[in-house]
Chains A and B, each alone.
Chain A
Amino acid sequence: MLELTRITAGYDRRDPVVRDVSLHVGAGEAVGLLGPSGCGKSTLAKVAALLHRPDAGTMTLDGTVIRGWRHRAPREQRTAVGVVFQQPRLSADPRLSLRELIAQPLRSTGRRRDVPERVAELARSVGLSDELLDRRPHAVSDGQLQRACLARALVLRPRLLICDEMTAMLDASTTAALVAVVERYRAASGAALLAVGHDRVLLERWCDRTVRWDERETEKGPAGPVTAGGGLRPPAAPR
């Protein structure tokens, strides 16, 4: 499904955050990528979500090599990937109601007619009431807003879903609820998942397979496909 080969990426070509990293996510597979904060896993997630152009390396999605990058990859390819970030307050446009937030990807890809039905279906699935859908982000809780962000990520029926610390801000019950939504979608659609995070217990429970950013710390099973050839940059400051 997703094949990252020897990816180098970052925000400064002389000092990349991700160096020479490879990662494979099979069709329908759920892979958890574990790493400490500051290791570069979010940057890799942005590359995998086709939102950040890598400096080197190749990336294939469903067997097609991603070409035509500008800052991001071409839209036709991006729409095959859904992404949910850690902080819903930063990723949700505060001017839009939750309903508009969920519907926007449909509108901008010219599928306006599908809006009412698809939004209703997703709202049911993530547990947002009609009344909540009409509110804007400031009037809902973090958990409710993240439910809307997940619905938005699923609205175009992505074949690959990327969850970057989707539940790090959330309580245990909301975490379990959102994971259940993702798994119901995957069971129905056969989509693949790349879940990025630091919570080992959560990702091991959720995913088919987990990959550690730092191979030396791998305790069980094979080392996994992340090969840090050039080594990964240590965090900016020792902790």
Chain B
Amino acid sequence: MTDARENTAVPVLDVQNLSVRFRMRGGRDIAAVTDARFSVAPGECLALVGESGCGKSVLASALLGLLPANARTTGSALLGGDTDLLTIGERALARTVRGRRIGLVPQSPAAHLTPVRTVRAQLEESLRELTRARGSELPKAAVAAAARASFPEGHLDRYPHELSGGLAQRAATALALIGDAPLLLADEPTTGLDRDLVERTVDELRRHTDEGRALLIITHDLAAAERIADRVAVMYAGRIVEIADAEAFFGGPGPRHPYAKGLLDALPEREFTPIPGMPPELGALPEGCAFADRCAYADARCTGERPAFTAGLACHHPPTGRASSPSKESADA
């Protein structure tokens, strides 16, 4: 794994200035994603975290070409250094990318699987489409595909509704792995699962990453992100506000952006205190920093001027220049 992580020359996915706008009725624009910049290397896991509605899933849909018709994307998203996912078009995406170069581990496996067909039938269909396995090889290949995702052979003839949440998740992962794609994209793969299953699911995804794949996991579950990620990208109101090494982010120095710090402090194993207020509407973002009205460090500059994203952080008050505990000071004042 360490070798793979050092191989950063050609990232599997390199996203530059990716923005997504939805044109609404009445000419209103929703800025779902703005200027996202990140890359994922082979054998590396990047966790994209943030609260619901911050634009994480829209970003994933943009990479897969699955946005609705009223969406406009700008920027670039290079897959394997040569294919721009935003411009190659639906036909090429369907024939050469989805399933083959990007494996999708979906948010709700029970809804992702075809309800009227058994897991075995679905695996065999994907094998026929994505690999050279034919005829008599298919049954064996289906068993092997199931085994890669630790899906028990004895349950292959079940229908999706007969599977527990954990098994459905593994069936969906098995399908995502069939094309042997270099990039796995997992969109909230652990929502609704209990803690043991979350851990098992992310550990399995980690194993597939350690085999040399790149993994982009989108999640609001910080504990899952801590368990699996090499790096963390924090998204707020459509923008990535911090990218950090997972170890530093969850441990030692901690997060540098006040929003990221607030998210971690809200965990029941930490302070268990919410960030005041709610995120702004993506259709009516403020001029300055979108987090300013919830931020204890905010000053006039924050409300007037949007902080640039430099050195992995978009904040006018990087930790070095901050007062130690602003909330107490403002309470005294």
Q: Which residues of A contact B (CB under 8 A)?
A: 36-38, 86, 127, 141-144, 168-177, 179-180, 198-202, 204-206, 235-239
A174 to B262, CA, bound (A): 11
B247 in the interface (beta carbon within 8 A): no
* A199 and B195 form a contact (CB under 8 A): yes
* B308 contacts across to A, CB distance below 8 A: none
Q: Separation in Å of the B156 CB from the closest CB of chain A?
A: 12
18 A-B pairs whose Cβ atoms sit less than 8 Å apart in the complex: A37-B194, A86-B192, A142-B53, A168-B192, A171-B52, A171-B220, A171-B266, A172-B222, A172-B263, A173-B51, A176-B266, A177-B274, A199-B194, A199-B268, A237-B155, A237-B162, A237-B163, A239-B166
Q: Which residues of B contact A (CB under 8 A)?
A: 50-53, 152, 155, 158, 162-167, 191-197, 220, 222, 262-264, 266-269, 272-275, 277-278
* B269 contacts across to A, CB distance below 8 A: 201, 205
A171 to B56, CA, bound (A): 13
* B52 and A172 form a contact (CB under 8 A): no
Closest 5 CB pairs of A and B: A198-B194, A177-B274, A141-B53, A171-B51, A176-B274
Known: A38-B165, A143-B53, A171-B50. 4 other contacts (CB 8 A): A36-B194, A168-B192, A169-B192, A177-B274
* B52 and A169 form a contact (CB under 8 A): yes
Dominant SS among interface residues on chain B:
loop
A234 to B277, CA, bound (A): 42
Q: Separation in Å of the B307 CB from the closest CB of chain A?
A: 20
A127 to B194, CA, bound (A): 28
Q: Separation in Å of the A173 CB from the closest CB of chain B?
A: 4
A232 to B331, CA, bound (A): 51
A168 to B220, CA, bound (A): 10
Q: Separation in Å of the B12 CB from the closest CB of chain A?
A: 27
